[in-house]
Amino acid sequence: MGCRVDLIPNTSEGGLGGSKDNNVYGPIVFPTDLSATAQTVVFRVDENCLDEKTKSGKQCILGNVTITRDPIGVWRDNFCERRGANRLFMCAAGRGHAGQDIWGDWKNKPGVYPIFSVADGVAFRRFPRQPAVTVSDVDVTNIDYIYRHMRPSVLSAHGIRQATPTIVKRGCEIALVDQLQNVTTKKTGLIDGNTYYEPTAVHVHFEIRVPTKSGFQYVSPYETIITAHRNALTGTAGFVGKRHCSH
């Protein structure tokens, strides 16, 4: 964890690699249980290969490209991976995965691990087609910290409700780690204003957006997350609690 590890080979657009950004964006707390690590969900025991192509043991075969997975628990940057249509000026290819995935050996364990507010700020639900929450540090940095894949009913139970900006404190629990993705028209029973389906691994997808003269820009969360985890382990992170933000 002490030095930067770039993307798994062949997982970025054109094989150009990830962001070389080593900045730490805010003195945040680690956003979930400390058993988790910053790693990639590309080709895991509970994930399909990238683009859902051929599996072969510990490898994905994508045409003439081979991707070999890391073991669960290996710290690994995945900002800029070749998935999603996000335009990212920080990536060598100019596009890619806009955040960092954080998880552990959490297969089939939705709703078990906590998600914490990483900073004092205002939380609000966003993106009607994806269960996501933004915590904005409006008092100090104006940085946005974005989480995805939570269960909407659990967000509501934690006081994070639709169309209702909520003041949250650093370290309070805002949700539980889950695996929900986009809205679906298929009946699933997961109804909270929208109906969602579960195509992804149980993990936290975590993004950071910073204000610039050209508007908000996504930046790599990797070094920020590493620093937060190290601070928690050494007792310098400040309060990380189990109470709901609404209490």
Q: Where are the domains of the chain?
A: 13-40+71-233
Q: Distances in Å between the alpha carbon of 38 and those of 95, 144, 151, 155?
A: 20, 19, 21, 23
- Say what the pLDDT of residue 25 is: 95
Give me the residues paired with residue 67 across strands. Answer: 60
The three-class DSSP label of residue 98 is coil
- Indicate yes or no: pTM above 0.85: yes
The CATH number of the domain covering residues in 13-40+71-233:
2.70.70.10
Average pLDDT over residues 234-247: 67
Q: 188-211 b/e with 16+ CB inside 10 Å = b?
A: eebebebebebebbbbbbbbbbee
Average pLDDT over residues 188-215: 75
Report H helices in the chain: 152-157, 222-233
Report H helices in 84-241: 152-157, 222-233
pLDDT in tens, 82-138: 876 678 988 988 988 899 999 988 887 999 999 999 999 999 987 666 689 999 999
- Say what the pLDDT of residue 46 is: 43
